[in-house]
Copies of this chain bind each other. A is one copy, B any other.
């Protein structure tokens, strides 16, 4: 009975409640939200926390599993690719002679779920009852391996409480044929292909069932459909172990069948205990790099754990051909497409705690430069104009129309007009290089992205009679206003992008002259063009009003109707739905941080007190009609010392995916809001900033936070930071790497492995 004992240990969640997310009951209306919130993923596989006990034939069709990069178009001529929905491969049916034994919804804890965030495990249990005759208790463990991303594991422990009858357990992987075409089907191995995109999926499954410790042989009903039948008796313990191996192939010469066969063979030899142990070790390793601890605010601690859990599950450092969609691998909204969310809201977390993942995500943008170049050329511009919505190839995949929250069909102009994406990618490249010092990446890939995006902007910003360069006909982060001119965010980011490209050109020329020679020849990029970029940057219109230091969000914005948003405090829908699309477009109501986002990303562009002035102007005009908005506002509020307001924004951001008052996340985790929560905490409350010669910290903790501790990586070094507000101390430890400089409130301190930094900090004044 050793097996059973170890299994019981595996099924026991981490005791510390701060590490687990628990949900007691099962409410049919909230089932989809729960399936999102408790999803498990590893950057390659994402499995929603759907019920595993099959209730009816319909449920097998519900899309429950995603494979990163497995895109297809639903129709040959509706050519918007979407992540293929692979049915949940973990479902089971339990049969009695009279019919199926299913779980009954009802009041009370009918199907508790526990997400063990520390170990990356989904644990669940339920009791299935048939009248007074039969009662079985099920405990389940599911994981997708953080150690070996192609593997998934399910352990099911079934205890017969009552009932002496013929019992059947059926384990199947049904419904794959719904969106995929079978190429090859064996009992435990299958290969399918997508209908249109030429990708293939390999799947192998290994199962074993033990009844009171004795292995039982299955009946194979069909490929991927196994069944066991036995005589049940009270006290009987049955346990099922199921291992999945999954592979995606993008090329005809890569056989996903052979891959999954080999994967499954290897793991079958070492067994599920080894798989589980390696998975848990991989999670422990990740938490050691990325953990954030808050004392004094349990809800904030839980929210940060939840954010880091999902951020960790979203990325895959081993696949530079995929990036992270707007709902990561947890739901179907936005079809798995990649937006600026990744570079602006997610990359900071990866750059500072998991640079291998960050590099891989940026390599995805390098590999999709072809699509970005084609998009620019199609429209008569030069360089790289990245897709606003990007799938696998990097070509633009934004749908042309959609139905809005008011059920109006509207044309979607973001794909052509939301051009700041190119500068956002460049921003992340630079930030990655600043933080990691990864010169190889810069020389091999990053420089080319910076140069090609700069070239795009130089061709895009046209000189006019006023002597300035203008960028007309765009959409900024505030998507309520379309086809606008000189969006401050776009233009200032574009200028910054050009300047960093000039920096990198100079740097390469100086440090890697041969590489620079190669690259400049390949890009046909000469000094005259670089000189012209410099002119573009120096004459770029920005909309800054010298007298006030305010950036006008776009040309004409200040003349629009000023709607007092406080009159609409009770609303439960976005402002464009309240006011109607047309009136919103004619008003100053902002969908999401725009000038405020610029202030968050490029604070040095705001001299003196003008950062505060801009924030005070724009913050009341923002309706927060996007899940990206509150985090940016919170970050800036914290930096400006308005920690009360910042904490409110923190809570609103955390509520997006964790509050249970609305049914809103069935389509997947708002992964950018999770990244934003981390950014707000580290860049806002802790006041981290990256400098060319080190890092700076300017803490502004909320009054209720006794302390904030976190880990960082910086240019090959590991740092541990603890801001102890209770004792007004800041403690920075260098765990590895060369000495460096940490500035606190602007004052530089040396830091060495053998000599930590302990310094006094000021109490936040909590103003807002």
Interface residues of A (CB under 8 A from B): 27-30, 55-58, 61, 74-78, 102, 104-106, 177-179, 195, 401-403, 405-409, 568, 570-573, 577-583, 661-664
Distance A487 CA – B748 CA, assembled complex (angstroms) = 73
Q: Which of B195, B408, B409, B663 contacts A572 (CB 8 A)?
A: B408
Q: A75-B56, A77-B104, A662-B408 are in contact. Are A29 and B401 (CB under 8 A)?
A: yes
> Which residues in B have their C-beta under 8 angstroms from that of A74?
56, 58
- Among the listed B577, B582, B583, B664, which residue makes an inter-chain contact with A407, where contact means beta carbons less than 8 Å apart? B664
Alpha-carbon distance A102/B409, docked complex (angstroms): 25
A77 partner residues in chain B, CB cutoff 8 A: 104-106
- Shortest A623–chain B CB gap in Å is 13
Known: A570-B579, A571-B580, A579-B571. A409 touches B30 (CB 8 A): yes
In the complex, what residues of B have CB within 8 A of residue A573's CB?
405-406, 573, 577-578
A663 touches B55 (CB 8 A): no
Bound-state CA distance A30–B410 (Å) is: 12
- Minimal beta-carbon separation of A422 from chain B (angstroms): 29
Asked whether, in the complex, the Cβ of B75 is within 8 Å of the Cβ of A105, the reply is yes
Which residue of chain B is the closest to A665 with respect to CB atoms?
A: B407
For the complex, give the distance between the alpha carbons of A75 and B103 in Å.
Answer: 10
A29→B105 contact, CB < 8 A: no
- Residues of chain B contacted by A583 (CB below 8 angstroms): 570
Question: What is the distance, in angstroms, from A657's C-beta to the closest C-beta of chain B?
Answer: 13
> Besides the contacts A29-B401, A58-B74, A406-B572, what 19 more A-B pairs have beta carbons closer than 8 Å?
A29-B402, A29-B409, A56-B74, A57-B177, A58-B179, A77-B105, A77-B106, A78-B105, A405-B573, A406-B662, A407-B662, A408-B572, A408-B662, A409-B663, A570-B580, A571-B578, A571-B579, A571-B580, A573-B577
CB neighbours of A179 from chain B (8 A) = 58
Q: Are the CB atoms of B55 and A75 closer together than 8 Å?
A: yes
* Inter-chain contact A571/B577, CB cutoff 8 Å: yes
Q: Which residues of the partner chain B approach A104 to less than 8 Å between Cβ atoms? A: 76-77
Chain B min CB distance to A375 (Å): 22
Compute how far the CA of A159 lies from the CA of B579 in the bound complex, rounded to whole angstroms: 51
Contact A78 B28 (CB under 8 A): yes
Closest beta carbon of chain B to A17's beta carbon, Å: 25
Measured between beta carbons, the chain B residues less than 8 angstroms from A662 are: 406-409
Instruction: State in angstroms the CA–CA spacing of A425 and B582 once bound together.
Output: 44
- Using A578-B573, A579-B571 as known contacts, say yes or no to A403 and B29 having CB atoms under 8 A apart: yes
A178–B60 CA distance with the chains assembled, in angstroms: 11
User: What are 13 A-B residue pairs whose CB atoms fall within 8 Å in the complex?
Assistant: A27-B401, A28-B78, A55-B75, A75-B102, A75-B105, A76-B104, A406-B572, A407-B572, A408-B663, A409-B661, A409-B663, A573-B577, A578-B578
| Chain B residue at minimal CB-CB distance from A586 | B570
Number of copies: 2
CB distance from A579 to the nearest CB of B (A): 5
Residues in B with CB closer than 8 Å to A581 are: 572
Q: How far is the CA of A307 from the CA of B401 in the complex (A)?
A: 30
What are the 9 tightest A-B residue pairs by CB atom distance, in nearest-first order?
Answer: A570-B580, A406-B572, A570-B583, A407-B662, A77-B104, A403-B663, A407-B664, A407-B663, A570-B579
Q: In the complex, what's the smallest C-beta–C-beta distance from A58 to chain B, in angstroms?
A: 7
Q: What is the bound-complex CA distance between A735 and B78, given in angstroms?
A: 56
Instruction: Give, as a whole number of angstroms, the nearest-CB distance from A577 to chain B.
Output: 5
A664 to chain B, nearest CB (A): 5
Q: State whether B178 touches A57 (Cβ < 8 A).
A: yes
Bound state CA distance, A281 and B671, in angstroms? 61
Residues on B with beta carbons closer than 8 Å to the beta carbon of A55: 75
* Nearest chain B residue, comparing its CB with the CB of A74: B56
Which of chain B's residues has its CB closest to A55's CB? B75
Give the distance to chain B from A563, nearest Cβ to Cβ, in Å. 11
A283 to B421, CA, bound (A): 59
Tell me the bound Cα distance from A177 to B61 in angstroms: 14
Measured between C-beta atoms, what is the minimum distance from A663 to chain B in Å?
5
Shortest beta-carbon distance, A37 to chain B, in Å? Answer: 15
Q: With the chains together, A76 CA to B104 CA distance in Å?
A: 8
CB-defined contacts of A78 to chain B, threshold 8 Å: 28, 105
The residue on B at minimum CB distance from A103 is B77
Q: Which residue of B lies closest to A569 (CB)?
A: B580
**Which residues of the other chain, B, contact A568 by a CB distance below 8 angstroms?**
578
A104-B407 Cα distance, complex, nearest whole Å: 25
Residues of chain B with a CB closer than 8 A to A402's CB = 29
CA distance A530 to B76 in the complex (A): 71
**A577 surroundings in chain B (CB, below 8 A):** 571-573, 577
Residue of B105, B401, B406, B661 touching A408 (CB-CB under 8 A): B661
Q: Across the interface, which residues of B come within 8 angstroms of A661, CB to CB?
A: 408-409
Q: Is the CB of B58 within 8 A of A178?
A: yes
Q: Which residue of B lies closest to A181 (CB)?
A: B57
- Complex alpha-carbon distance, A105 and B409, angstroms: 17
Give the chain B neighbours of A28 by CB distance below 8 A: 78
Complex contacts, A407 vs chain B, CB 8 Å: 572, 662-664
Determine the chain B residues whose CB is within 8 A of the CB of A578 once the complex forms. 568, 571, 573, 578
Residues of B within 8 A of A61 (CB): 61
Assembly CA distance A572 to B401 (angstroms):
18
Give the residues in chain B near A75, CB-CB below 8 Å. 55-56, 102, 105
Cβ contacts under 8 Å, A195 to chain B = 56
Residues of B near A663 (CB, < 8 A) are: 403, 407-409
Instruction: Tell me the nearest residue of chain B to A404, going by C-beta.
Output: B572
A407 to B195, CA, bound (A): 35
Which residues from B are CB-within-8-Å of A29?
Answer: 401-403, 409
A572 to B55, CA, bound (A): 38
A634 to B528, CA, bound (A): 72
User: Which residue among A570, A580, A664 has the maximum number of chain B CB atoms within 10 Å of its CB?
Assistant: A570
- The listed residue with most B CB atoms (<10 A of its CB), out of A75, A177, A402, A583, is A75
Q: How far is the CB of A331 from chain B (nearest CB, A)?
A: 15
Residue of B nearest to A664 (CB): B407
Minimum CB–CB distance from A16 to chain B (whole Å) comes to 30
| Nearest CB on B from A102, distance (A) | 8
Q: What residues of chain B lie closer than 8 Å to A177, measured between beta carbons? A: 57
CB neighbours (8 Å) of A405 from chain B are 573
